[in-house]
Amino acid sequence: MKILIIEDEINAAKELERILHQLDPANVVLAIIDSVGESIEFLKRKSPPDLIFSDIQLADGMCFEIYREIPVKSPIIFCTAYDEYMLDALETNAVSYILKPITEEAVSKALEKYKRLRSAFEPIAATRAIAELGQQLKYTYKKTLLVEQREKIIPLPVSDIAYLYLENAVIKIATLKGQQYFITSTLDELERMLDPESFYRANRQFIINRFAITSIERFFSRKLVSKLIVEPPETIVISKANASDFLRWLEGVA
């Protein structure tokens, strides 16, 4: 089961992650996020998790701001030190409400309740799976991009690309051999054209090739920095919200 933890107390989040793995080693924590803003960014960009464990008071506001901002369809188990928000929680996709401190017994009971109610959410999962399959069947990722160099248009194999970079509204492409080209597409369009098994949208400015990565370094605030075969014009930072997803992608884990 793919689980998202939204919690600004790192010790509580790590303990919840430990309990989830203890109860079922197949449970996968996609990310631990501590703020409203990063939660919205994550849920906008990623497929919905099977289940969300959510604290209520976060570093930059109340978690209900997340669920008002975007239509979250995943069921939610709330974890909080306060019980006065229970009525607000019930207006979301809440399936349970755990009072802190979090215990294995409380998490186990909440998961059992979720499993009993899961049939109500199965149509969502089925719809998502059908949509993803339809995209795979109707879309073929680009093998070659047409790039520009002076007055020439050059067919560039995507396997030669190290990274794509947005700078001053212009998309630049650097190859594994250090050559540089320009292309007239947007970074969002290119993200859809390129096979996500090989290319990752590191942030708003960079798309990087798996085979161009030489190492990953830890950055402050639990962010990551990706080092490439060719030196990029600026540091490629992966946000804390996307760090776990990026490492799983790098390992080739779906």
Pairing label, strands 51-54, 2-6: parallel
Residue 226, both tokens: 């990706």
State the maximum Cα–Cα separation within the chain, in Å, rounded to a whole number: 68
For the CA atoms of 176, 181, 184, 185, the dihedral, rounded to the nearest 10 degrees, stands at 10
Q: Which CATH superfamily is domain 144-251 in?
A: LytTr DNA-binding domain (2.40.50.1020)
Q: Give me the pLDDT at residue 253, please.
A: 64
Whether 2-131 shares its CATH topology with 144-251 is answered no
Q: Give me the pLDDT at residue 38, please.
A: 92
Low-confidence ranges of the chain (pLDDT < 70): 82-94, 119-139, 253-254
Pairing label, strands 144-149, 170-175: unpaired
Q: Give me the pLDDT at residue 133, please.
A: 47
Domain boundaries, the chain: 2-131, 144-251
Q: Give me the pLDDT at residue 130, please.
A: 42
Pairing label, strands 2-6, 28-33: parallel
CB atoms within 10 A of CB 18: 12
For the domain bounded by 2-131, which CATH number is listed? 3.40.50.2300
Candidates 247, 229, 227; CA nearest to 237 is 227
Q: Give me the pLDDT at residue 28, please.
A: 94
Residue with tokens 């919905």: 48
Report the predicted TM-score, pTM, of the whole model to 2 decimal places: 0.49
Q: Give me the pLDDT at residue 125, please.
A: 54
Expressed in percent and rounded to 5, the helix, strand and coil fractions of the chain are: 40, 30, 30
Q: Give me the pLDDT at residue 114, please.
A: 87
